[in-house]
Amino acid sequence: MDRDENTEGVAADAELAAEIMKRNFRPSLIRTEAWEGYMFADIEIKIKESREFYGAVLWPSAMVLCYFLDTHRDEFNLTDKNIVELGAGTGLVTIVTSLLGAKVTSTDLPEILGNLRYNVTRNTRGRCRHEPHVTELSWGKDLEERFPHATCHYDYIIAADVVYSHPYLHELMETFIHLSSENTVILWAMRFRLDPENRFVDTFQKHFHLQELYDLPSLRIKLYSARKCTPTQH
């Protein structure tokens, strides 16, 4: 790559990152109300965060994933598609995918579900083709009992910022593998912080074909799509 191309690439990254982060964020003007507004799927989505838990805070990867889905509606038509979200946090991605017509199962740890359910209900009630379902999914735990292969078929698994230095990376991988079938597409926005993220991507590629949809170095975020490798492709 020559210097001009590199300069163009850096400028394009900065422009897209700024558009995703600024265009869609509307700080609440009434400070007594504990929510922030985000513009996706043609409406303002009101998100309440809770400082008590990591997962009840909105992370930039969620905005990147929402922006991508909102601006690629033809290529990724979500109408009536079955989606499961892992580590849904505040629920922004669940809300946007539900507003775009999908049947969404929104999951996280038990302590996150109260705030998640509040945001999801507040923003989707009466506005969606399919009411989203919020439920516990602790990675690696009771997967076949709670999400049996025979009945749970997902068109998409979506996840934003679920890979970082936590002790459940093996269980997270197991969960991706358990929930995906041959036709499932994983859409996964990932913020790179330390080495464990890189190692997770390497291991992930042993099980899934990975395609990079966005690379935003200024945010240290990549957006991937992935499909399970069939046995002969290993």
Ligand X SMILES: C[S@@+](CC[C@H](N)C(=O)[O-])C[C@H]1O[C@@H](n2cnc3c(N)ncnc32)[C@H](O)[C@@H]1O
Binding residues for ligand X (CB under 6 A): 54-55, 58-59, 61-62, 87-90, 108-109, 112, 137-139, 160-162, 166, 168
Judged by beta carbon, residue 164 or residue 229, the one nearer ligand X is: 164
- What does the alpha-carbon distance between residue 114 and residue 216 come to, in Å, rounded to a whole number? 32
Residue 137 CB, shortest distance to ligand X, in Å, is 6
Residue 135 CB, shortest distance to ligand X, in Å, is 11
- What does the alpha-carbon distance between residue 47 and residue 36 come to, in Å, rounded to a whole number? 5
Judged by beta carbon, residue 13 or residue 168, the one nearer ligand X is: 168
- What does the alpha-carbon distance between residue 26 and residue 16 come to, in Å, rounded to a whole number? 17
Residue 231 CB, shortest distance to ligand X, in Å, is 28
CB 175 within 8 A of CB 186: no
Residue 155 CB, shortest distance to ligand X, in Å, is 19
Count of CB atoms situated within 10 Å of the CB of 144 = 10
First to last CA, the chain: 32
Judged by beta carbon, residue 55 or residue 132, the one nearer ligand X is: 55
Phi-psi bin for 140: left (phi > 0), alpha (psi -120 to 50), beta?
left
Judged by beta carbon, residue 16 or residue 164, the one nearer ligand X is: 164
